[in-house]
Amino acid sequence: MVPLSYYVILSVIVFVTGVVGVLIRRNIIIILLSVELMLNATNINFVAYSYYFQNITGQVFVFFALTVAAAEVAVGLAIIIALYRSKSSINVDEFQLLKW
């Protein structure tokens, strides 16, 4: 029997990895994947807590979170394609026309 805290620690590690990925990676697709990590950390939490509370709400949330993540990827890739067409690059630091 794995204690609850193990799951929570795992989820914290995955979440922080995701946040750091968003902050330091330049490639937009990697950033998108890092956000997926953040959402998956959430899912780990929800499943673990759901089991702990013996309460189905958490698992319901996981399903919705997966759906939202899929939709995010769809919209994100569309935007990335539009950007790639105009700049031939998907490095996030090359887009800084709008500032100040």
Partner 1 sequence: MLYTLIPLLPLAAFLILGLFGHWIKDRAHLVAVPAVLTSFLFSLFVFDEVAGGKNVTIPLYTWLTSGDLRIELSLYFDRLTAVMLLLVTIVSGLVHVYTIGYMHGERGYARFFAYIALFTFSMLMLVMADNFLQLFVFWEAVGLCSYLLIGHWYERQTARDAATKAFIVNRVGDFGFLLGVLLIWLSFGSLEYRHVFAQAADLTGETLNLLSPIGGTWEVSTLTLICLLLFLGAVGKSAQVPLHVWLPDAMEGPTPISALIHAATMVTAGVFMVARMAPLYNLSAAAMDVVAVTGTVTMVLGATIALTQHDIKRVVAWSTVSQLGFMMMACGLGAYVAGIFHLLTHGAFKALLFLGCGSVIIALHHEQDMRKMGGLKDKLPVTYWTFVIGSLALAGFPFTAGFFSKDEILVEAWSAGALGKTLATFALVTVVLTAFYSFRLVFVTFWGESRVDPQHAGHLHEPSRTMTVPLVILAFLSIVAGYAAIPDFLAPVLPGPRGLAIHHEHPAAGGMMAIAAVLGLVGIAAAYLVYVTSPGLPDRLARQWQRAYRLSFNKWYVDEAYDRAVVRPTVRLADRLWTWVDVAVIDGAVNGVARTIAWWGWLMRLVQSGQTQHYALGMTLGAVVILTVYLLL
Partner 2 sequence: MTFTLTLSGADLLLLLPEMLLTVWLCVVLTMDFAMPRLPKDRLAYLSVAGLAGVLANLVWFDLAGIGGTLFAHMFVVDRLAVFFKIFIVGTTILVILASVDYVRRFRFFKGEYYFLVLMSALGMMFMASANDLLSVFITLEFSTFGFYVLVAYLRDDVASNEAGLKFFILGVFAAGLLAYGISLVYGETGKLVFSDIASPSATPGLVIGFLLIFAALGFKIGAVPFHSWIPDTYHGAPTPVTAFLSIAPKGAAFAILIRMFFVSLAAFKPAWVLLLVGASILSMTYGNIVAIAQRNIKRLLAYSGIAQIGNILIGLAAGTKMGGDAILFYLLTYLFANLGAFAIVIAVGNLIRSDEIEDYNGLNRRSPFLAFAMLVFLLSLAGVPPLAGFIGKLYIFLAAIDEGLYTLIAVGLINIVISMYYYLVVVKKMYINEPTDPSPLTISPPMKVVVYAGLAGTLFLGIYPQPAINWVVAATLMFSNLAGPAAAAPTLVLPIGG
Residue 93 binding partner per list partner 1, partner 2, none, with a CB distance cut-off of 5 to 8 Å that depends on partner kind: partner 1
Contact 51, 67 (CB under 8 A): no
- Choice between 18 and 62, CB closer to partner 1: 18
Whose tokens are 């673990």? That residue is 48
Is 98 a binder of partner 1 (CB under 8 A)?
Answer: yes
Q: Using CB under 8 A, which of 10, 30, 33, 72 touches partner 2?
A: 72
Half-sphere exposure of 31 (CA within 13 A, CB side): 14
78: three-class secondary structure by DSSP: helix
Binding site for partner 1 (CB under 8 A): 19, 22-24, 92-93, 95-100
